Amino acid sequence: MGWNSWNAYSIAVDETKIKDAADMLVETGMRDAGYEFLVVDDTWMAEDLADDGRFEPHPEDFPSGIADLAEYVHDRGLKFGIYSSAGTETCAGYPASIGNERLHAEQFAEWGVDYLKYDNCGDHRGRDALDRYAAMGEALAEVDREIVYAICEWGDNEPWEWARNAGGQLWRTTGDILPKWRATEDDAYGLGVVEIVDEMADPQIARANGPDGWNDPDMLHVGNGPGSGQAQLDDLDVSEEFPEVEQRTHFSFWCLWSAPLMAGNDLREMDATTKAILTNEDAIAIDQDPLGVQGTRDRVYGDREVWSKPLADRGAAVILFNRGEREVEIETHVEEIDLAAEADEYRVEDVWSDESWTTSDEIGSVVEPHGVAFYRVGPA
C-alpha cells in the first residue's frame, strides 16, 4: 500500500509536491490506514546519465537530491520509492537502467530507496523480458538494503508466470489504468476499470497471486478525473467526471483481488468521499487478508456477475457486480461462493454501508449501474 505520483502529477512532478504528499499522507490519516510507500514516478532524473553511468536528479525539479528527499519521507514514518525502466529510456524519454542494473541498484540503496517501480519503455537492445527484469532483480538482491521490486511489464509477456523468478514481489498484469469506466479510440493508451476487471478474470492470472508475489492491475484512480495530471498532460480523452459509484467498484475489485493499493490522487485536494473510499477499514482488511488469494468470477448472467474469494477466517468476500446500464437485482447463495466454513446461519456484513444481517443461504442486493455490492460473509 502506498501512493505514487504519476496519476496525480504525470510529468509535472517535483520535490515540493513529493514533500507535500509525504506530509499529507500523515495529516490525512492515509499512512495510519496502511499507505506506507511514497513512490516518485517518471521524470525525477536529469536528462542525461553522468559520465560514469550513474543517475543524477533533475537539477531544477529535485535540487536537494534524492537522498535528502528519501530522508524527508523516512522522517515521516513512510518508505520511499523511485522509478526507472528496463530499457534505454523511461516512458517520458529520460535515461533508464538497461546495462547499468548493478550500478543503479547500488545507487538506489545508497539513497535509501525502499521500492523500485521498473517500467518497460525504451530500446530493449534485443533482450527478452525475463532477461531484462531478472538482471535488475539480481542486482537488487545483492545490495545491502531491502528494496521491494515492482515489475511494470504491462502483462505483455505473462509476467505472472516468471516474475517471481526474476525477483519481483509484484508485477503488472495489465496496461495503464485510466480514470474512467472504459477506454475509447481517442485515448493514446490505457484501459478503463471494466476492461481491467475483464482481464483480471483470467484464472491463470489469479492462480499466480499469493504472499510475497502479487498481481498488480495498476495504481488507483480513486479521487481522480479530468483534473488529474495524467488526464491533463497525457494524450487521453478524459473529459467526463469519474463517478463515485465507479470509483467504489474500482476500489472494491482491487481489494477482492488482494492487489497492491497504490493511491494516485492529489492528496492536497482530497475530499471526504475520496478519503472514505481509500481508508475504508473493512475493504482494506479484505485486501490485506493474510491468505492473499485473488478473488475470482463465479458466475456471469447477462450484465450481472458474482465474484468471491476465501478469507483466512474461513469466511469469504463477495462482490455482486452490475456492469450494465440499469439497476438490477443480483443474487447468489452460500454454496456458490468461496466459503470454507459451514453453519446453519451466516452473517453478511456490507463493506460500504456497515449494515449487517444473517442468512441461511441466499445473498442478494439491488445494484446500481456500474456498481457493486461488497460483502464479508462468515458463520453467524
What residue has cell string 479484505?
286
Q: What is the CA radius of gyration of the chain?
A: 21
Cα 323–309–119 angle (5° rounding)?
A: 75
Kindly provide the b/e burial profile for residues 105-137, where b requires at least 16 CB atoms within 10 angstroms of the residue's own CB.
bbbbbebbbbbbbbbbbbebeebebbebbbbbb
Q: Which of 203, 189, 251 is nearest to 223 (CA)?
A: 251
Tell me, yes or no, if 176 is annotated catalytic.
Answer: yes
Q: Which residue among the candidates 61, 114, 176, 187 is catalytic per the annotation?
A: 176
What residue has cell string 516512458?
91
Q: Which of 46, 69, 70, 68 is nearest to 59 (CA)?
A: 46
The strand ranges marked E within 35-169 are 37-39, 79-85, 115-119, 148-151
Q: Which residue among the candidates 114, 119, 218, 234 is catalytic per the annotation?
A: 119
Tell me, yes or no, if 51 is annotated catalytic.
Answer: no
Residue 207 CB partners (closer than 8 Å, separation 6+): none
Coil, strand, or helix at residue 357?
strand
Residues catalogued as catalytic: 119, 176
